[in-house]
Amino acid sequence: MLIGANVSMKGTKMLVGAVAEAQSYKATTLQFYTGAPQNTRRKAVADMRIPEGLKLMQEAGLSHTVIHAPYIVNLGNTVKPENYPFAVQFMKEEVQRAEALQAYAMPFHPGAHVGAGPAAAINQIAKGLNEILTPDQHVVIALETMAGKGTEIGRTFEELAAIIDQVDLQDKVMVTMDTCHMSDAGYPVRDDFDGVLNTFDHVIGLHKLALIHLNDSKNPQGAHKDRHTNIGFGTLGFDCLNAIAHHPQLQGIPKILETPYVGSDRKHLVPPYGPEINWLKTGHFAPAELVALGATPLAEKEA
């Protein structure tokens, strides 16, 4: 199983540190940002310790590196056209960084229309992708399914399909399915995931599915809020997410956890990924492991 989590690439350790963190969770794949997701400050490729990190990945049996694009880029904003050239240029550079890191896919939040309407945003996102993508790149841009918070684009498979239909280099663009986002957007992930997959296949095509963000949700279906929670601690539940992790139609597709750190307070937070990955590998849910670290089960949160 290709299972991993969002890890950190920062400081002086860079890729070496990210690989070591993933290895500590007994992961088989990994995701990271090339810098803080809230800004566009990035280190030079020469400082990322790439040869050492790639060697460690091979030794650790890690593959299918996923590099998440930062949230701050909004190709869909037609209200402030002055921001568009920078967004395109940054993403061009981010693709170059991903290529240097030998990444497999880049999850990308499509953007928000900020009041101009979905059609205008969809057209501009596709226009931006046509400027960003190149025939010789290996990393695919994986448009992410979104929860539908505010004016987000990507709340339906149809919106993602409308973007892809306008992209010239269609082999360079795929989709990231986020289980929390899809449920929050209104798709019946918990009760009929096979139906969700079937809908996706008819609207976009399963051959366009690059990876899964495997996250539980704090919210009921259709809440449009985008609030992740730990595996088995939310409204989707362990059985649902475990079935997705082992789904026969999704073999060979990386599953990445983006669940929140846990702890008694904000000053004492630790990553949950070691236990969560083990649960999904073995099919054995042991919530007491995270409760002991400060996680709160959904029933207690609602009480």
The answer to whether 171 is a known ligand-binding residue is no
The answer to whether 284 is a known ligand-binding residue is no
Distance CA 254, CA 51 (A): 23
The answer to whether 265 is a known ligand-binding residue is no
Nearest CA to 15 out of 73, 60, 78 is that of 60
Place of tokens 């892809």: 164
Distance CA 197, CA 250 (A): 10
Contacts of 192 (CB under 8 A, 6+ apart): none
- CA distances in angstroms from 63 to 53, 116, 177, 215, listed in the order given: 12, 40, 19, 21
Under DSSP, is residue 201 helix (H, G, I), strand (E, B) or coil? helix
The answer to whether 228 is a known ligand-binding residue is yes
The answer to whether 178 is a known ligand-binding residue is yes
Place of tokens 């009929």: 192
The answer to whether 226 is a known ligand-binding residue is yes
Burial of residue 238 (CB within 10 Å: 0-12, 13-18, 19+) is buried
- Interior CA angle at 210 toward 107 and 74, to 5°? 25
- Helix boundaries (H) for the chain: 14-24, 50-60, 84-100, 118-132, 157-165, 179-185, 193-203, 238-245, 273-282, 288-291, 298-302
Binding residues for Zn(2+): 68, 109, 144, 178, 181, 213, 226, 228, 258
Return binding residues.
Answer: 68, 109, 144, 178, 181, 213, 226, 228, 258
